[in-house]
Structure 1
Amino acid sequence: MTTETTGTADETPLFGPQSQFSSFFDDPRWALAMIRATVLEAAHPQIGAALADNSTFVAHPWRRLRNTFLSMRRMFGGDPAEREREAARLNRLHARMSGTDYHGRPYDAMDRAARAWVVATLFESAVTMCRLSGQPLDQDTMERMYAEYRAFLAALDGDAEELPEALHDFWGYFDRVVENDLENTEAARVILYRLFDHLPAPALLDGAPTLWAAGRAVAGPLLGAITVASLPEPYRRRAGLPEMPGAPTLMQGAYCAAGLARFLPQGWINAESIIELLSLSPDSDDPRARTMAALGARMKQASALLRLLTPLSGNPAPDRAPSAGTGEGRRSAEEFFRKVLDQTGDGHLDWPDLAAMARELATRLDLDEPEETRLYDAFAAWWRELQAALDTDGDGRVSADEYAAAVPSLAGPALIRVAEVLFDATDKNGDGTIDADEYHTLFHTAFHRNLATTNGTYSRGAFVRDFLSFMSGRRSSTPYDPLLADA
């Protein structure tokens, strides 16, 4: 196992606030580097297949961003116990992801070489972002940062043997993987050509879809062009990626402009605060949500004006007004299937979709074993129940048409069991009720129920009824939408 420091007591720790990694966390360039690293990860056949089959990054990119950010904070934090616990959680998560790609080749998210490539892309993209922004790292800084990333891999795998020990050997390893292993995978194509163009609005900006669509129509292609131009030339050539005129200059300008943030006063840019803000539901009890709600009203006015001046093609959805009363309303079967059931965004319901629900709930509740496995097992039983009832053509998954045609009542025994297991996991103190703090841990948003009328608690029966109403009654719900439906 790699040690916490690079050797002597006076050297900078490999983890914690003094690490080189931590210095990049609030750097705007890091956003561009992370997109680039994600494409290089997705271009690896093993990783690309795992992403295509199991990831929610298409349907729920903002949720995926938040969870990834928090995980990396834990892994690179200064608390060894928290890092060990997060590494164990990640290993359990990845151990549940295996299968075959569309070529019939097996993939396994626990494959050591593939996991090493993920770490390699993060390190190489950090070095590249500094070079492209005109602030290249000196050799000592690169050596120290490479040691940090190898320590990160060791925390996951028990050792870092899949990555070269010396930095000067790393570059040959990286070039060999790019030349010999990377492919134009479906996952890489989705990130470059679908995700940016169809990126859903974050929860807090979901009330002005016209304005968001107009901004996305400009920013999406630019981000795609910048990312393609920043990829290694051998991969761009082998994958047949287009070379847009002026894209290298645009890429250089984007990195240099982001690099100017170093002149801002320290603390002006806080990535964690920005991600938390984007993740807030408009109905959240967070004071920042009320401020953004007022801003949202202004945005809606601008959105309406934009729609009058430059109408979009087709029939864009109107700006949504806040729901009255309890914040709940009926949603169509198609919307329920797309927003809630189809977590991976592939147009079908199968086990990875329900596994994604279990993963999100376990992440919110920060579950350890055996509670995490109990939750997964409950969702697995629900999937078997759904498959038996709805998979009419026997292809092993449920299509939107099969779901809509059946118009089923999903509140069978297995779903009731999911609700009961979720209640037990949320009820941390085991007193048979959920108090306001326990509820907030799960939902991180305002709870439109007067807890004072029930002595400040939420009973098992009420919890199960509300959960079933949302999951089977296709009723939009202010607490549950940010958890399972919002992007």
Structure 2
Amino acid sequence: MPDTAQDASPLFGPGSQFGELCNDPRWALAMIRATVLEAAHPQIGAALLDSSTFVAHPWRRLRNTLLSLQRMFGADDHVRLREAARLNRLHGRLNGTDARNRPYDAMDPGVRAWVVATLFESTVTMCRLSGQPLEQAVMERLYREFQAFLGVLGDAPGQLPDSLNEFWIYYDRVVEEELENTEAMRVILYKLFDHLPAPPLLSGLPTLWATGRALAGPVIGAITVASLPEPFRRRAGLPEMPGAQTLMQGAYLAVGLTRFLPEDWIRPERVADLLALSPGSDDPRARTISALADRMKRAGALLRLITPLTAPPEPAARTGTQRSAEEFFHEVLDQTGDGHVDWPDLAAMARELSSRLDLDEPEETRLYNAYAEWWRELQSGLDADGDGRISAQEYATAVPSLAGPALIRVAEVLFDVTDVDGDQSIDADEYRALFRTAFHRDTTGSDGTYTRSAFVKDFLSFMAGQQRSTPYDPLLAEA
């Protein structure tokens, strides 16, 4: 029988099993593994390829995922229900057909159950691979918490099996019968880390980042593959490096040792916030790390002067405020990173802005509708070959027509939903909610606020694609 004292502890918030485990550094490896198993499901893989920003904006996606889990597993029931409603609205917009003309729907109860199943199973596997398997009572408690998570989303009981013993039968069946070697899974395993952009705070160290990524990417991929269920690895034909199992267990053990560091150093949300900081942010942590990055640059330059070896040239630094049409297309418009622009790219912008501002209905729907109207305008004016999407070449030949009436409407709606108190100006707190930094010096008027006309003008100037913008680049362009 389960421990009755343990049964009395809350399913969410402090005291829950999830609350104890989610701050374990090993959870980073577990989440990569869970994401791969999700992407191997054909419906989820298709949705990721069509609508997700995980390739072009992985750090933003990471931060938003952590924030969502914190809201769902936190102690505040009101916050949890609001987040569940937001997730349901988001998932309700993700549907279509894959490359084999099979339908997918993010609201499919079986698909949602599989996402929760991978989170639970990867957490259990994380502990087992690092030599600290969960006790049966703890595992059962954790399973009930994940069942409750699915219940808060509003899914009918029974999508996940009632008992833990039945869960393992269900899990093995899905792995053996439903998972595939999908393109989304291959992107995560073999391409994502090869092209992973530097987080905003490290964007000024391209050579250092590229070197570290080249070394770490294949290792992380090998560790993840080695941790996947053996029947799926065999059926999907996934290669396994010699010694990969030993490497994987060593990695889990090594990462697990960091849990003995001070708690504030390893909390996932703190690490994610730090990575998301822009060098121009007013956050003291950004200034400190930017100063350290400058010193590293100087040290690297000195090393190149005194060493006889020829170092590869640094990528050209961005200078000034000008941006080419091609840069704007790939950095801002192509949010999903698939080389063209269509509705999922604009929906991703609306999703990011809604998440930053924590919008409820109907404000979120107003913003999505404004972006949908802009997409129709873009499609009508720029889609020369009628294939339902816009290429970089089509965009470059029609740049002047980008900022039409529908984009002005997007700017006005974004101003309205940011102006929480409805006083027709954005104050310092509202500005920080959107841009996550203090007022830019040349933004505010004489009264210390950001007026509607100034906001719309700046937004249109940025979206016209020719000028870089200190506040807007971190909002929509950075990874």
Q: CA shift at 1:306, angstroms? A: 6.8
1:204-215 maps to which residues of 2 (within 5 A)? 204-215=201-212
**Alignment-mate amino acid for residue 210 of structure 2:** A
CA distance in 1, matches of 2:99, 2:303: 43
Q: Does 1:464 align with 2:456?
A: yes
Query: Which residue, out of 280, 293, 316, partners 1:318?
Result: 316
**For the Cα contact (< 8 Å) 1:436–1:451, is it kept in 2?**
no
More moved, 467-476 vs 84-93: 467-476
Task: Mark the CA change 1:319 to 1:307 in structure 2 (over 3 Å): closer, same or farther.
Answer: farther
**For the Cα contact (< 8 Å) 1:57–1:64, is it kept in 2?**
yes
**Alignment-mate amino acid for residue 146 of structure 1:** Y
Number of the residue aligned with 1:237? 234
CA distance in 2, matches of 1:347, 1:210: 24
Query: Which residue, out of 122, 126, 129, partners 1:125?
Result: 122
Task: Mark the CA change 1:54 to 1:307 in structure 2 (over 3 Å): closer, same or farther.
Answer: farther
Q: Does 1:438 align with 2:430?
A: yes
Task: Mark the CA change 1:451 to 1:317 in structure 2 (over 3 Å): closer, same or farther.
Answer: closer
**For the Cα contact (< 8 Å) 2:30–2:126, is it kept in 1?**
yes
Task: Mark the CA change 1:432 to 1:258 in structure 2 (over 3 Å): closer, same or farther.
Answer: same
Q: CA shift at 1:55, angstroms? A: 0.2
Q: CA shift at 1:453, angstroms? A: 4.2
Task: Mark the CA change 1:6 to 1:445 in structure 2 (over 3 Å): closer, same or farther.
Answer: farther
**Alpha-carbon displacement from aligned partner over 1:280-304 (angstroms, at most 9, x marks no partner):** 1111111111111111102323444
Number of the residue aligned with 1:14? 11
SS in 2 for 1:78: coil
Q: CA shift at 1:271, angstroms? A: 1.6
Q: CA shift at 1:382, angstroms? A: 0.4
Number of the residue aligned with 2:220? 223
CA distance in 2, matches of 1:70, 1:261: 22
Q: Does 1:104 align with 2:101?
A: yes
CA distance in 1, matches of 2:217, 2:49: 21
Calculate the aligned-residue CA RMSD, in Å.
1.9
SS in 2 for 1:476: coil
More moved, 262-271 vs 205-214: 262-271
Q: Does 1:352 align with 2:339?
A: no
Number of the residue aligned with 2:254? 257
Q: CA shift at 1:406, angstroms? A: 2.8
Q: CA shift at 1:25, angstroms? A: 2.0
SS in 2 for 1:99: strand
Number of the residue aligned with 1:288? 285
1:363-378 maps to which residues of 2 (within 5 A)? 363-378=355-370
Q: TM-score, structure 2 length as denominator? A: 0.96
**Alpha-carbon displacement from aligned partner over 1:51-96 (angstroms, at most 9, x marks no partner):** 0000000000000000000000000001111100000000000000
Q: Does 1:30 align with 2:22?
A: no
Q: CA shift at 1:237, angstroms? A: 1.0
**For the Cα contact (< 8 Å) 2:264–2:270, is it kept in 1?**
no
CA distance in 1, matches of 2:23, 2:380: 48
CA distance in 2, matches of 1:233, 1:207: 41
**For the Cα contact (< 8 Å) 1:89–1:368, is it kept in 2?**
yes
Number of the residue aligned with 2:148? 151
SS in 2 for 1:124: helix
Query: Which residue, out of 164, 178, 182, partners 2:179?
Result: 182
Q: Does 1:475 align with 2:429?
A: no
**Alignment-mate amino acid for residue 402 of structure 1:** E
Q: CA shift at 1:196, angstroms? A: 0.9
Query: Which residue, out of 108, 111, 114, partners 2:111?
Result: 114
Q: CA shift at 1:305, angstroms? A: 5.6
Q: Mark the runs of 5 or more structure 1 residues left unpaired by the alignment.
A: none
More moved, 67-76 vs 280-289: 280-289
**Alignment-mate amino acid for residue 99 of structure 1:** G
SS in 2 for 1:191: helix
**For the Cα contact (< 8 Å) 1:332–1:474, is it kept in 2?**
yes
**Alignment-mate amino acid for residue 70 of structure 1:** L
Number of the residue aligned with 2:72? 75
CA distance in 2, matches of 1:312, 1:402: 38
**Alignment-mate amino acid for residue 195 of structure 2:** H
Number of the residue aligned with 2:335? 343
**For the Cα contact (< 8 Å) 1:74–1:82, is it kept in 2?**
yes
Number of the residue aligned with 2:55? 58
Count of aligned pairs between the two proteins:
476
More moved, 295-304 vs 177-186: 295-304
**Alignment-mate amino acid for residue 403 of structure 1:** Y
**Alignment-mate amino acid for residue 179 of structure 2:** L
**For the Cα contact (< 8 Å) 1:409–1:473, is it kept in 2?**
no
**For the Cα contact (< 8 Å) 1:6–1:14, is it kept in 2?**
no
**For the Cα contact (< 8 Å) 1:210–1:318, is it kept in 2?**
no
Q: CA shift at 1:316, angstroms? A: 5.2
Q: Percent identity?
A: 71
Task: Mark the CA change 1:43 to 1:16 in structure 2 (over 3 Å): closer, same or farther.
Answer: same
CA distance in 2, matches of 1:277, 1:268: 11
Task: Mark the CA change 1:251 to 1:306 in structure 2 (over 3 Å): closer, same or farther.
Answer: farther
Number of the residue aligned with 2:419? 427
**Alpha-carbon displacement from aligned partner over 1:242-278 (angstroms, at most 9, x marks no partner):** 0111111111100011122243344442221111111
Task: Mark the CA change 1:62 to 1:6 in structure 2 (over 3 Å): closer, same or farther.
Answer: farther
**For the Cα contact (< 8 Å) 1:281–1:445, is it kept in 2?**
no
Task: Mark the CA change 1:34 to 1:452 in structure 2 (over 3 Å): closer, same or farther.
Answer: closer
Q: CA shift at 1:409, angstroms? A: 3.3
**For the Cα contact (< 8 Å) 2:109–2:155, is it kept in 1?**
no
Q: CA shift at 1:312, angstroms? A: 6.6
**For the Cα contact (< 8 Å) 1:184–1:239, is it kept in 2?**
yes
Q: Does 1:89 align with 2:81?
A: no
Number of the residue aligned with 2:164? 167
CA distance in 2, matches of 1:438, 1:178: 46
**For the Cα contact (< 8 Å) 1:283–1:446, is it kept in 2?**
no
**For the Cα contact (< 8 Å) 2:206–2:315, is it kept in 1?**
yes
Number of the residue aligned with 2:408? 416
Q: CA shift at 1:311, angstroms? A: 5.6
Task: Mark the CA change 1:381 to 1:127 in structure 2 (over 3 Å): closer, same or farther.
Answer: same
Query: Which residue, out of 35, 39, 43, partners 2:40?
Result: 43
Q: CA shift at 1:367, angstroms? A: 0.6
SS in 2 for 1:159: coil
Q: CA shift at 1:21, angstroms? A: 0.7
**For the Cα contact (< 8 Å) 2:381–2:401, is it kept in 1?**
no
Query: Which residue, out of 392, 398, 416, partners 2:390?
Result: 398
**Alignment-mate amino acid for residue 438 of structure 1:** E
Q: CA shift at 1:7, angstroms? A: 7.8
**For the Cα contact (< 8 Å) 2:60–2:276, is it kept in 1?**
yes
Q: TM-score, structure 1 length as denominator? A: 0.94
Task: Mark the CA change 1:338 to 1:16 in structure 2 (over 3 Å): closer, same or farther.
Answer: same
